[in-house]
Structure 1
Amino acid sequence: MKNIINTAKIQLKCFLLLFVIGLFLQSCEKDDLEIQQNYPFKVSVMPVPKDIAKDEYVEIRIKIIPEGNFADTKYYLRYFQFEGAGKLQYYNTQPYFPNDIYPLYEKEFRLYYTSTSEVSQSFTVWFSDSFGNEEKIEFQFNNKKLNG
């Protein structure tokens, strides 16, 4: 009788072990794996001056901070100037055209805005990623001549 009980216990343990292994293997199937690729992000901008004179430039230090990391995520920039006139550019490249989309190759970089007018200036920069997430930053500069 003792042998029958011991055999039953061993069989039950083997059954439970096979059941657990089956669950583990099933959870590891390729179709069931979900790899997250889409991570929202925030944009950090260092403070910039409030006033700018014609032909003067302002350095804008920017950092894109994603909530997670997926190596193939691409980031883009576009801007639109809705008041005044000026040029926005990445380091010393050609100035950006309003509403065109430009790829960003780094998550931490500097833009340079150069005033070309003697009035207040305002523009918006949109940052987006390859998954459709988007952040908007607005910049406003007063003209130095207007403020004394």
Structure 2
Amino acid sequence: MKRIFDNNRPRLKSVWALLAVLLSAFLFTSCDKDDLEIQQNFPFEVSVMPVPGEVANGQTVEIRITIQPTGNYANTAYSLRYFQFDGTGTLQYYSEPPYLPNDLYPLASTQFRLYYTSTSTVSQSFDVWISDNFGNEKQLSFEFNSSD
């Protein structure tokens, strides 16, 4: 019996050595920090509560908006810009000063209210773009007919 075991000893050592090399190669390539991918970029959707179809000169309309990301990354920052192409009016965030067209404004939360005040006696149209710091962007279009 001893002789059979002694004859297989070199083979067992080489099998164990091969297993050790394969195992360490697997472990070291699987745990490479450079290959880890942490997803930070999550596309998002935007929902808007219904708004009236008409607005009178001097009337303010509340626009409730919710940003709904497909994932959660703590360092995602959202911003807003708008452009009015028909009629005149002002758009503002709560009681802050009115937004200037095409300027970028940071958003403090994913649920917020905008207030549009008509300064026109004709129909009004404007677009709002909401974007994140990863380049994702959604466009919202608003149209109000003039009411007297």
Q: Which TM-score tier does this pair reach, normalised by the shorter chain?
A: 0.7 to 0.9
Pick one of 54, 62, 66 that aligns with 2:65: 62
RMSD: 2.0
User: For residue 134 of structure 1, what is the aligned residue in structure 2?
Assistant: 137
Identify if the C-alpha distance between structure 1 residues 8 and 97 changes in structure 2 by more than 3 Å, giving closer, same or farther: same
User: What is the alpha-carbon distance in structure 2 between the residues aligned to residue 131 and residue 57 of structure 1?
Assistant: 33
Match of 2:36 among 11, 33, 36: 33
Query: 2:75 maps to which residue?
Result: 72
Provide the rounded CA distance (Å) in 2 between the counterparts of 1:47 and 1:17: 65
Offset of residue 112 of structure 1: 0.7
Instruction: After superposition, give the CA deviation of every residue in 1:1-42 in whole Å (9 maximum; x if it has no partner).
Output: 367669856864674465245313322111111111111111
Match for 1:113: what amino acid? Answer: Y
Helix, strand or coil for the counterpart of 1:22?
A: helix
> Quick one: distance in 2 between partners of 1:50 and 1:127?
22
Tell me the alpha carbon deviations over residues 70-105 of structure 1, each in whole angstroms, 9 at most, x when there is no partner. Answer: 211111100000001111000110000011110111
**Could you tell me which residue of structure 2 aligns to residue 43 of structure 1?**
46
**Is the partner of 1:31 in helix, strand or coil?**
helix
Provide the secondary structure at the position in 2 that maps to 1:114: strand
With over 3 angstroms needed to count, the CA separation of the structure-2 counterparts of 1:11 and 1:96, relative to structure 1, is same
- Whether 1:112 and 2:115 are equivalent positions in the alignment is yes
Whether 2:126 is the aligned partner of 1:123: answer: yes
Report the residue type matching 1:32 in the other structure. Answer: D
Q: Normalization by structure 1: what TM-score?
A: 0.86
SS of 1:142's partner is strand
Deviations 1:35-62 (A, max 9, x none): 1111111111111111111111111111
Secondary structure of 2:95's counterpart equals: coil
Is 2:92 the counterpart of 1:89?
A: yes
* SS of structure 2 residue aligned to 1:26: helix
Any gaps of 5 or more consecutive residues in structure 2?
Answer: none
**CA distance in 1 between partners of 2:112 and 2:84 (Å):** 20
Structure 1 pair 121/36, CA: closer, same or farther in 2 (3 Å)? same
